Structure 1
Amino acid sequence: MTSTAETPADRLVLEAVGFSLSTLPARARIAIAFSGGVDSSVLLDAAVRVAGASRCIALHVHHGLSVHADAWLAHCDAFTRERGVEFAAERVEVSRDAGVSIEAAARDARYRALDDMCASRGVATLWLAQHADDQAETVLLQLLRGAGLAGLAAMAPEYLPAGASATRVRPLLHLLRAQLEQYASARALHWIDDESNADTRYARNALRHEVTPALAVHFPGFRDALARTAAHAASAQRLLDALARIDMEDASRDEGRALSHDALLALDDDRALNLLRYWMRTLGLVAASSARLGDALRQLREIGAAGEGHGLRIDHASHALRSYRGLVYWESGDSSDPADETALAARAVSELAWQGESIWRLPQWRGTFVFAEAGDTAGDPDTIPSRVLQRAVLSARSRSGGERMRTSDAPGAPSRTLKNLFQERGIPAWKRDVPLLYIGGDLLFVPGLGVNRAALPEQIDEAESRVRIVWREDLLIA
């Protein structure tokens, strides 16, 4: 039976939740990451009491790592129904690749799923149930790993990660695990005990069960001390980020997707490394080790600002660092693969009098135009009538600048520059040097952007045969 008497833990939890709620717009909805454990159960229960059930939505991620995962899902569903709270769940696949920490893989998958669920529901705030013990463990882990200031800053009370749809807020970050357990017991909450939390093969569990109890005996205030360390590190990191933003103003190219090689190398090593770390965070890349970043900067200095980075061998997070024509950028793939920059040289115009060919190979572009029969797809904007391809000679040309196209069939829709369209779709500058397909003197198709509607006839018979144009790079041809 739930106790109605107010306890010190009850007051602390409700005050913490009330403070976080007070920073939000009136009637703004709140997503709560709900695993069903004691911490998230306390947060959800308190959020309902303070904000009301209608403003809350509980989000559960089913990792499938435990044989009890389905039972946990059912428990979470029942817990939220008892409180009249909307409930949503998503199943994820956790990478088990060699060399990848299953803890890190599960965490990444969980946050991706939570962000997706927030975005699909238009919720801009995600509450997480981490507390002071979690913060102390995080700082200890980062210290033992030799992390820099960003790592020691540990978990921020509130932040919006790059690329995330919702601001992550931790209302309980200054409360102890014991206080949350007292709240849960007084409220007679039922929660899940994840058996993996007792497995001391995991570093965090080893700290929780074997290290922090000993610290509590000899250093009773260690949690507060580590929290202060995290706050000092966060303050110092903010100053470094401010410096990096100043350097980015000079070095940023292509809306931050690339850096000027000259501007980067003009900085001393400490400042250049700080810029590289900051830049990678803005791109959504995971942090690289000091050794890897130091090696990257050394190689960039060796090739010089005017040199080409064909010999760069820096791989990180499924990306390779590239240097070309005065720009430094990250490209998907491995540094042992040929860089896309090799396709950026000037190319002669190629022509084809199309007579129904299914492919048009363009070696100088390292790719092929594919003309696939599309059948009855008159409403598909990616297809065109076959007769359009026979109207005049096809030609593949390099971009010269200023080209425009219209991507909409809406009456009066304006044409737009390729540059603006590429930027809008987030296509990096070094991926924009693609063959433009012309029919006579009219631009017809642009890889990555699609068909230029302005090149199509105004009247089209829906019954006539149609063709879909696809550009495939060599590595994608079967």
Structure 2
Amino acid sequence: MTSTAASSAERLVIEAVGAALSALDALDPNARIAVAFSGGVDSSVLLDAAVRVAGASRAVALHVHHGLSPHADAWLAHCETFARERGVEFDAQRVEVSRASGVSVEAAARDARYRALDAMCAMHGIRTLWLAQHADDQAETVLLQLLRGAGLAGLAAMAPEFLPANATATRVRPLLHLLRAQLDHYASAHKLRWIDDESNADTRYARNALRHQVTPALAVHFPGFRDALSRTAVHAASAQRLLDALARIDMEAASRDEGRALDHDTLLALDDDRALNLLRYWMRTLGFVAASSARLADALRQLREAGAGTDGHRLRIDHAGQALRSYRGLVYWEAGDSREPADETALVEREISELVWQGEEVWHVPQWRGTFVFATVDSAATAANVSPHNTSNIEAADTIPLSVLQRASLSARARRGGERIRIGAPNAPSRTLKNLFQERGIPAWKRDVPLLYVGDELLFVPLIGVNRAVLRDVPLTDEASVKIIWREDLLLA
């Protein structure tokens, strides 16, 4: 390596990191930067350059311990030492990589890594995560996507800047236009120490096979292939943005329940290409991994054949642990297998199935992503309304004499199935929650609500109201009353 090459590489790296920092400073000049730090040469260069440009106090090195290599503990120790030598705060998280059948180790490790990085960013209050991918990585990604028959979203490969759904930190790739060789020159010039992951030489992994066996041959016959593939990614990203803009227009018309469902008729009024584009976009907004073209085409075919008036039981589409459902003109995804009937009890299996109220006026139950509010009611003004025989309005029906709440401990429990409630007069026939939810057109994903019990007696069901059977022996008095209100988290200020 010549001194000229080293100095040129250093300049290019520093300029790239400086440009990324300037873009961040334009938004927040005091913002801290998280660097995803594996300890390899690429992330070592990025962290070293970040310290030189931004200063050690603004950087945090984040390491993910996958446990896949026998050297993982040594790599963790090396990374911590490297960061401490530069005065950089260091944090690490251990993850378990899924070995489930049909899931590649590469994909599982990547997903676990990004979940851990996002979690650490959130814990440190950092909203910018720098990643060390470079032009060679981008070229390999485009080739892999081409060989897999990916669409435009896949060919767009890695964006220079991207905020994933459900993440708080924007992912930034300052080195994306630089070559691997330029990073190697920088590392050698600054005498950096880095680790070599032995798995990078294993050509059983598709990316490694491309890196060691395909791209060297391309470099001989097509020296500018990296730039060409990078341009392909840029063109694909531009075209995908146009498709996404069209999908947002269609989503605005078809979206129901804040995007968790689509209107069946609106979706199927679109031609196949446009409907498939909407389905892809919708699934990305839900955080799903991309589905194959064949699976999406089959889903659209089945939806067209099923019709909006059916209960969707004939749909046999499963993806990413979810089953496609159709219910009263809505299309949505539900956790589970399409061969099983739609879940009519709680949609999420909970580790905690019962919580006990401690008398809070505002009782947050995070397991159900919501809050109970116990609002005191003017007893003199509402004495007539709280009569157990008054069902003239929902607010009256949700108002309960304080003495009822004091009969026994009040608890929130998960649905088990088969629960019954009286919503008319106390002596009226009881109804199952399942029937009441169906009658009111409440889709399955909204039925995952906590049930309030006083002792062992069902007292209140969100979206339905108070069990009037509980009030059967309550005398008419002017005693204090409480109105129970259920609010989903998204409805809280």
Q: What TM-score, normalized to structure 2?
A: 0.74
CA distance in 1, matches of 2:208, 2:151: 22
CA distance in 2, matches of 1:309, 1:86: 53
Question: Contact (CA 8 Å) 1:396, 1:438: kept in 2 or not?
Answer: no
The C-alpha deviation readout for 1:215-273, integer Å capped at 9, x for no partner, is: 00000000000000000000000000000000001100000000000100000000000
Equivalent position of 1:317 in the other structure: 320
Provide closer, same or farther for how the CA distance between residues 260 and 372 of structure 1 changes in structure 2, counting only shifts above 3 A: closer
Q: CA deviation at 1:336?
A: 1.2
- Opposite residue 214 of structure 1, the aligned amino acid is A
Q: CA deviation at 1:204?
A: 0.2
Q: Please show how residues 60-75 of structure 1 align to structure 2 within 5 Å.
A: 60-75=63-78
- Opposite residue 22 of structure 2, the aligned amino acid is S
Question: Contact (CA 8 Å) 2:139, 2:229: kept in 1 or not?
Answer: yes
Equivalent position of 1:388 in the other structure: 405
Question: Contact (CA 8 Å) 2:5, 2:185: kept in 1 or not?
Answer: no
Equivalent position of 2:393 in the other structure: none
Q: Please show how residues 307-346 of structure 1 align to structure 2 within 5 Å.
A: 307-340=310-343
CA distance in 2, matches of 1:29, 1:305: 50
Given the alignment, which residue of 233, 251, 255 partners 1:252? Answer: 255
Equivalent position of 1:122 in the other structure: 125
Equivalent position of 1:241 in the other structure: 244
Q: CA deviation at 1:446?
A: 4.0
Q: Please show how residues 417-456 of structure 1 align to structure 2 within 5 Å.
A: 429-433=443-447, 444-446=459-461
Question: Contact (CA 8 Å) 2:322, 2:336: kept in 1 or not?
Answer: yes
Equivalent position of 2:272 in the other structure: 269
3-state SS of paired residue (2:101): coil
Equivalent position of 1:193 in the other structure: 196
Equivalent position of 1:100 in the other structure: 103
Provide closer, same or farther for how the CA distance between residues 273 and 66 of structure 1 changes in structure 2, counting only shifts above 3 A: same
Question: Contact (CA 8 Å) 1:398, 1:435: kept in 2 or not?
Answer: no
User: Cα RMSD between the aligned structures?
Assistant: 3.6
The C-alpha deviation readout for 1:119-145, integer Å capped at 9, x for no partner, is: 111100000000000000000000000
CA distance in 1, matches of 2:217, 2:78: 34
Q: CA deviation at 1:87?
A: 0.2
Equivalent position of 1:278 in the other structure: 281
The C-alpha deviation readout for 1:296-336, integer Å capped at 9, x for no partner, is: 00000001122221110000000000000000001111111
Equivalent position of 2:180 in the other structure: 177
Q: Which 10-residue stretch deviates more, 254-263 or 379-388?
A: 379-388
3-state SS of paired residue (2:324): strand
Q: Please show how residues 386-425 of structure 1 align to structure 2 within 5 Å.
A: 388=405, 390=407, 396-397=420-421
Equivalent position of 2:13 in the other structure: 13
CA distance in 2, matches of 1:399, 1:241: 45
- Opposite residue 432 of structure 1, the aligned amino acid is K
Please list every run of 5 or more consecutive structure 2 residues that lacks an aligned counterpart in the other structure. 366-371, 375-401, 409-418, 425-441, 472-478, 482-493
3-state SS of paired residue (1:78): helix
3-state SS of paired residue (1:300): helix
Q: CA deviation at 1:398?
A: 8.2
Question: Contact (CA 8 Å) 1:397, 1:437: kept in 2 or not?
Answer: no
Provide closer, same or farther for how the CA distance between residues 268 and 61 of structure 1 changes in structure 2, counting only shifts above 3 A: same
Percent identity for Structure 1 against Structure 2: 75
CA distance in 2, matches of 1:40, 1:165: 21
Q: CA deviation at 1:447?
A: 6.5
CA distance in 1, matches of 2:136, 2:320: 30
Given the alignment, which residue of 45, 49, 54 partners 1:51? Answer: 54
CA distance in 1, matches of 2:318, 2:463: 26
Question: Contact (CA 8 Å) 1:397, 1:435: kept in 2 or not?
Answer: no
Q: CA deviation at 1:114?
A: 0.2
Q: What TM-score, normalized to structure 1?
A: 0.76
3-state SS of paired residue (1:328): strand
3-state SS of paired residue (1:164): coil
- Opposite residue 256 of structure 2, the aligned amino acid is R
Equivalent position of 1:86 in the other structure: 89
Question: Contact (CA 8 Å) 2:311, 2:327: kept in 1 or not?
Answer: yes
Q: CA deviation at 1:435?
A: 8.4
Question: Contact (CA 8 Å) 2:342, 2:444: kept in 1 or not?
Answer: no
3-state SS of paired residue (2:15): helix
CA distance in 2, matches of 1:31, 1:288: 31
Provide closer, same or farther for how the CA distance between residues 437 and 188 of structure 1 changes in structure 2, counting only shifts above 3 A: closer
Equivalent position of 1:294 in the other structure: 297
3-state SS of paired residue (1:23): helix
The C-alpha deviation readout for 1:371-421, integer Å capped at 9, x for no partner, is: 9797x9778957999973748xxx954899xxxxxxxxxxxxxxxxxxxxx
- Opposite residue 330 of structure 2, the aligned amino acid is L
- Opposite residue 431 of structure 1, the aligned amino acid is W
- Opposite residue 285 of structure 2, the aligned amino acid is T
State how many pairs are aligned.
398
